[in-house]
Amino acid sequence: MALTKNPIIKRNDTEFAALEKTANPYDKTARKIQVAEAQKQYELTGDVKPLENTLQTVKEKTLGGSIDRYNIDTKIQGTKEQEYQRKVDVAAKAYKDNPNDVTAADYQKTIAEGKNIYSAGSETGLKIDSAIKNVSGSEISRTTAAAKANWQNDPETYKDEYKAAIQKQIDYYGKDSSEAVTLKQNLRKVDEESLLYGVRSAKLAYTEDPENNYEALVNAEKKLVDFYGSSSDGYYASKALITMDETESERLDTEASAQYQTGAIGFEGYHNYLNAQMSKYDEGSTQYLKYYKASKDLEFKNTLDTLVRSQYDSEPGDVIKNMKSSQAAYAVGSTAYNSFQDQIDTLTQNLRYTAYKEMVKSEVKERSEEINSLQVKLYLAEQDFANGKISESKYKKLYKNYNNKIDYLGDSNTLPSFEIWNSYGVS
């Protein structure tokens, strides 16, 4: 009598052998050895294909739903992640060793391959998007630094290239970002400094050969006058450029300073004036450094104030606004009112000091770049002297002036100092 209604089907030898391999403990050990050897070869050669093929072959010998199948699937996924990281590391090194458009694009493309492994909303997926953007930021910074170096050595020739690089940075950070505050101001500085450079170059040529370079000097100065004249605050700058008498220049210094202090002219008007005066003297000379220091200090404070004011539209500003709103519920001079005021003053001071520290870092970096540029100028002047293009007296003058400016830029005591200025009322 049959124990089952269904007939017993005997497996053939091939099916039995395949089934035995999934359960045979000796075969399991052999598979582990295969995977371990393939893993070792991968680590030695960096070629992932043999390892992937081995894993796929081993997977076919395991039962679905078994621990063996789970372990091999985990190993396959881990191999994908390991290979992805290896390729990213290789691309990162290639970009670091030789940063250019090609290595940057390859680096970003390699990072993006991770999207085939990790989902967009996962922690790693979000990091991938951030890493791709960081490469863009690094590349923009690199190209801007290169354009700036070219511009510092020859402002007239590389003006447009440098301006385009700055605009690209503004687009990257966003026109309303805190970074854009400084970058937007840099755009106008490029035009201004290029014209100032033109005047200085024309003056150098004029001192060597007045007869043949007088017209070029007049034209260079006219371009600068036109540039300042196009500004609503160009009056004092234009006056400075046509005033050659030392006594009259000192009188203009006093008048322009007083007008700025009383608010009759704004930052731009006074800044233009200082730069116009500076352009009349040899770079690095005593008079030049007098106006250079005043101009840079004014520029630093103005940028700092603009940056601090912009913070009132972000979280720190919201906190201060809320505190002022709460303060209004108490009588002026009361203990509660004064307590709120102390906290508001402290927050305002901290906000300004944080912005100041960041700006000092930027200032030190900028000074370092300018020192490098001046050292290039010193080398070129030495070559010109050796080749007979300039006289010994001219070389000695350039050597002294450039070193004067290098000493000034390298002295930490000449960095703008922190000022406590709580004048940012928030309604």
Specify the pLDDT at position 75.
66
DSSP code of 423? -
Confidence of residue 426 (pLDDT cuts 50, 70, 90): very low
Distances 44 to 77, 85, 294, 300, 419 between C-alpha atoms, Å: 20, 16, 62, 55, 59
Residue 317 has pLDDT above 90, yes or no: no
Domain ranges of the chain: 15-117, 295-427
Residues 294 and 315: beta-carbon distance below 8 Å:
no
Q: Is the pTM of this model over 0.75?
A: no
Residue 80 has pLDDT above 60, yes or no: yes
Helix axes 246-261, 267-278, angle to 10 degrees: 160
pLDDT digits (tens, 9 = 90+) for 62-77: 555 556 666 666 666 6
Burial of residue 244 (number of CB atoms within 10 Å: 0-12, 13-18, 19+): exposed
Radius of gyration of the chain (CA): 34
Confidence of residue 315 (pLDDT cuts 50, 70, 90): low
Q: What is the mean pLDDT of residues 13-23?
A: 52
Distance CA 57, CA 36 (A): 14
Specify the pLDDT at position 27.
62
pLDDT digits (tens, 9 = 90+) for 129-145: 888 888 888 888 888 88
Closest CA to 19 of 86, 66, 72, 82: 66
Amino acid identity, position 151: W
Specify the pLDDT at position 294.
95
- Which residue intervals of 98-122 are DSSP H helices? 101-112
Amino acid identity, position 58: V
pLDDT digits (tens, 9 = 90+) for 274-303: 988 988 888 999 999 999 999 999 989 888
Who has greater pLDDT, 343 or 325?
343
Closest CA to 240 of 250, 195, 188: 250
Distance CA 126, CA 128 (A): 5
Confidence of residue 256 (pLDDT cuts 50, 70, 90): very high
Distance CA 194, CA 151 (A): 8
Who has greater pLDDT, 206 or 233?
206
Token match 């009598």: residue?
Answer: 1
